[in-house]
Amino acid sequence: MRLDSSQVARILKIVAEHAGSDSRVSVYGSRLDDRARGGDIDLFIETAAPMPRWEQARMLAALEDELGLPVDILVKCVHAPDTPFESMARSRAVVLNQAEQ
């Protein structure tokens, strides 16, 4: 995985501040390929309650500012059914924290 421990810690801190400390944070996409170069950070964030779009935008801006990299976020309330894309992302994701839902 092409994220170091400092980047992971910063991601988890920002997500906890905006989405709650009980959110589950996973990374998927090109950052999981150690042979790849560049690319954005794709995060799948599962929350206990729905998160307003304006708060998602604030979280995205904070992540990009802190990391200095482009970030894509997929935010999903655990109580909502998965879309096909969410199922695919989850099946290919690596969990960054072990928050319980």
Q: What is the rounded distance in angstroms from the CA atom of residue 19 to the CA atom of residue 3?
A: 21
Residue ranges and CATH numbers for the domains of the chain are 5-95 (3.30.460.10)
pLDDT tens sequence across 36-95: 777 889 999 999 999 999 999 999 999 999 999 999 999 999 999 999 999 999 999 999
Note the pTM of the prediction, 2 decimals: 0.89
Q: What is the rounded distance in angstroms from the CA atom of residue 9 to the CA atom of residue 80?
A: 27
Per-residue pLDDT band for 98 (boundaries 50, 70, 90) equals low
Of 19, 4, 31, nearest in space to 99 by CA: 19
